[in-house]
Chain A
Amino acid sequence: MYSDKVMDHFSNPRNVGAMENPDGVGQVGNAKCGDIMKIYLKIEDEVIVDVKFQTFGCAAAIASSSMATELIKGKTVDEALQVTNKAVAEALEGLPPAKVHCSLLAEEAIHAAIMDYRMKGDGSVENIKSCSGCCNACGMNEVETEHDEVG
């Protein structure tokens, strides 16, 4: 069901944890939907020098967060904004169709953290996507699949 890369990042997630005095924090998703991602950024001269995450969710959500932190670490803020959900999913060697929204959540978490950073700074928020706060945003409701019975 999951690629080896997803299982690797799920069982050995990179950059897990909270951060003291972050320059930007973003949290997206909600517990009702079963996915919450929180990303912390340490930024020096517009470069992301450190990043941490905490995620409540399935293996795909945890792996997507882990991969997203790896993809933006060391990048400039503007470069980080270019990291799409597609890039996250590709770096994970693909996600099952029902789990693509997890990679979108990762992209949104990056944007939310950078939004927080910018709002504290010069207030420039161009190119930053805002998240609606719930996984409905990714359109998953429309492709809701039949309940696969267990038992």
Chain B
Amino acid sequence: MKKIYFDNAATTRVKDKVVESMLPYFTEIYGNPSSVHGIGRDAKRALDTQRAAIAEMLGAKPREIFFTASGSEADNWAIKGVAGANAKKGKHIITSSIEHHAVLHTCKFLEGRGYEVTYLPVDSYGKVSVKDLEDAIRKDTILITIMHANNEIGTIQPIAEIGEIAKSKKIPFHTDAVQTVGTIPVNVNDLNVDMLSLSGHKIHAPKGIGVLYARSGRVGDNLLHGGAQESNKRAGTENIPYIVGLSTAMQMALENMELNTTRTKAMRDDIISFVMKNIDYVRLNGHPVDRLPGNVNISFEFVEGESLLLMLDMKGICASSGSACTSGSLDPSHVLLATGLTHEIAHGSVRFSLSDENTNEEVKYLKEVLPGILKTLRNISPLYNERKVR
């Protein structure tokens, strides 16, 4: 059976061109950039070139780009680094209640180390209020970290506006842009951010490569200690092939962004409007307009997400869910609950995340099979049979 991959917010297929660009750096230019000899110098040259290219794509300077092994590492480093370096100044951090766990659990960790964290609420669309954020700022606030767009519901936050406030109060501002770099325009100056995390595998580069951008190269404390790599800030031999792959993937994403956005948005809106029109008892999660071009997140009442995912999988369609049964915990997604969804409705949520590699034929197939799957599961469900007709 042909597989249809609608889970691009989880990870993406590495593009053939990206793989091609990486290959010479495994077998030919395999040197350690710290070595003095020719093969090492060739690797160093590649590292410098790609760092400059990535910096330029983000509106940054090369010395502001630090390579990491993942988006999670970049988030951890940004938060722990600033917290550690500013402990004497203050111990208050502001974040939102719908951050990725790489941010949330890092904040929780710091709470255990004597830091205070404000978790800003979001509205029913998953948006942070700029006013709430302004009100939460204290004299001892040392960091604001708010994600650019949410991985589950796709809501895009008013980052530039928040950055404006952070700048005026001189508080370092970090954003987790793992879902946005390569998908929507990201320029560190337009967004007024001091730090930004990104990840390769969400944009058709391999897993295991990320970047922390830090304005003027200020990253606070090291997360990894050891060699002098990354201006003495992040130890570990640089992963040249993956850095090359990330750079290629970013270039491809940027070159095709307008076309990709138009195509992906059209498929996204096609799925959303089809479901709204043809399936009853559904709810669109996330913001109707300020949303990632490839994000569809819908709650189907009276059914449970894991069942829905498995039925879709039997038809060859890959998606994901915010239900508890797929999370390994008893609670459904913290993001959906933060938008005010009840547990019941959050259990029946499904995310379809599209990329430029999806096609209209795939969307058409989804529209063909989805109503039947819902009908089957709702026939089994006592809740659908006992529903109060609205």
Contact of A141 with B by CB under 8 A: yes
List, in ascending order, chain A residues with CB within 8 A of B353's CB: 151
Determine, out of A26-34, A68-76, A87-95, A117-125, the stretch whose residues face the partner at the interface: A26-34
Question: Distance (Å) between the CB of A15 and the closest chain B CB?
Answer: 11
CB within 8 Å of A: which B289-335 residues: 302-304, 306-307, 310-311, 314, 320-321, 323-330, 332
**CB–CB A54/B329 < 8 A:** no
Question: Distance (Å) between the CB of A32 and the closest chain B CB?
Answer: 4
List, in ascending order, chain B residues with CB within 8 A of A56's CB: 302-304, 380-383
Q: State in angstroms the CA–CA spacing of A32 and B382 once bound together.
A: 14
Contact of A49 with B by CB under 8 A: no
Q: With A58-B307, A146-B329 known to touch, is A151 a contact of B152 (CB < 8 Å)?
A: yes
Q: With A32-B344, A34-B347, A151-B10 known to touch, is A54 a contact of B381 (CB < 8 Å)?
A: yes
Q: State in angstroms the CA–CA spacing of A98 and B307 once bound together.
A: 15
**CB–CB B330/A147 < 8 A:** no
- A145: contacting residue among B329, B351, B382, CB under 8 A: B329
**CB–CB B320/A150 < 8 A:** yes
List, in ascending order, chain B residues with CB within 8 A of A61's CB: 304
Q: With A33-B330, A56-B382, A135-B330 known to touch, is A151 a contact of B351 (CB < 8 Å)?
A: yes
Number of interface residues of A (CB under 8 A): 37
Q: State in angstroms the CA–CA spacing of A31 and B344 once bound together.
A: 5
Contact of B45 with A by CB under 8 A: no
Interface range on chain B: under 10, 10 to 19, 20 to 34, or 35 or more? Answer: 35 or more
- A34: contacting residue among B9, B10, B323, B379, CB under 8 A: B323
List, in ascending order, chain A residues with CB within 8 A of B385's CB: 18, 54
Which of B151, B152, B302, B304 has its CB near the most chain A CB atoms (within 10 A)?
B304
List, in ascending order, chain A residues with CB within 8 A of B329's CB: 144-147
Q: State in angstroms the CA–CA spacing of A55 and B310 once bound together.
A: 16
Question: Distance (Å) between the CB of A105 and the closest chain B CB?
Answer: 13
Q: With A34-B343, A61-B304, A150-B320 known to touch, is A55 a contact of B330 (CB < 8 Å)?
A: no
Q: State in angstroms the CA–CA spacing of A58 and B304 once bound together.
A: 6
**CB–CB B101/A147 < 8 A:** yes
Q: State in angstroms the CA–CA spacing of A78 and B330 once bound together.
A: 33
Contact of A131 with B by CB under 8 A: no
- A58: contacting residue among B9, B325, B383, CB under 8 A: B325
Question: Distance (Å) between the CB of B33 and the closest chain A CB?
Answer: 31
**CB–CB B307/A10 < 8 A:** yes
List, in ascending order, chain A residues with CB within 8 A of B10's CB: 150-151
| 0/1 string, A132-150, CB within 8 A of B gives 1 | 0001000011001111111
User: Whose C-beta in chain A lies nearest to the C-beta of B347?
Assistant: A34
Contact of A59 with B by CB under 8 A: yes
Q: State in angstroms the CA–CA spacing of A34 and B321 once bound together.
A: 13
**CB–CB A36/B330 < 8 A:** no
List, in ascending order, chain A residues with CB within 8 A of B304's CB: 34-35, 56-58, 61
Contact of A11 with B by CB under 8 A: yes
- A55: contacting residue among B323, B328, B380, CB under 8 A: B380
CB within 8 Å of B: which A13-60 residues: 13, 16-18, 27, 31-38, 54-60
Contact of A112 with B by CB under 8 A: no
Contact of A106 with B by CB under 8 A: no
**CB–CB A34/B332 < 8 A:** yes
User: Whose C-beta in chain A lies nearest to the C-beta of B295?
Assistant: A151
**CB–CB A151/B382 < 8 A:** no
User: Whose C-beta in chain B lies nearest to the C-beta of A145?
Assistant: B328
Contact of A62 with B by CB under 8 A: yes
List, in ascending order, chain A residues with CB within 8 A of B9's CB: 151
**CB–CB B328/A34 < 8 A:** no
Question: Distance (Å) between the CB of A138 and the closest chain B CB?
Answer: 11
**CB–CB B302/A141 < 8 A:** no
Q: Which residues of A contact B (CB under 8 A)?
A: 7, 10-11, 13, 16-18, 27, 31-38, 54-62, 98, 135, 140-141, 144-151
> Can you give 5 A-B contacts (C-beta < 8 A)?
A7-B310, A36-B381, A54-B380, A58-B304, A144-B330
Q: Which 9 residue pairs are nearest across A and B when measured between Cβ atoms?
A: A54-B382, A58-B325, A151-B151, A31-B344, A58-B306, A32-B343, A151-B9, A38-B382, A34-B347
Q: Which residues of B contact A (CB under 8 A)?
A: 9-10, 100-101, 151-152, 179, 302-304, 306-307, 310-311, 314, 320-321, 323-330, 332, 342-344, 347, 351, 353, 379-383, 385
A62-B307, A140-B330, A145-B329 given; name 9 further pairs at CB < 8 Å.
A33-B330, A54-B381, A56-B303, A62-B380, A145-B328, A147-B328, A147-B329, A151-B10, A151-B351
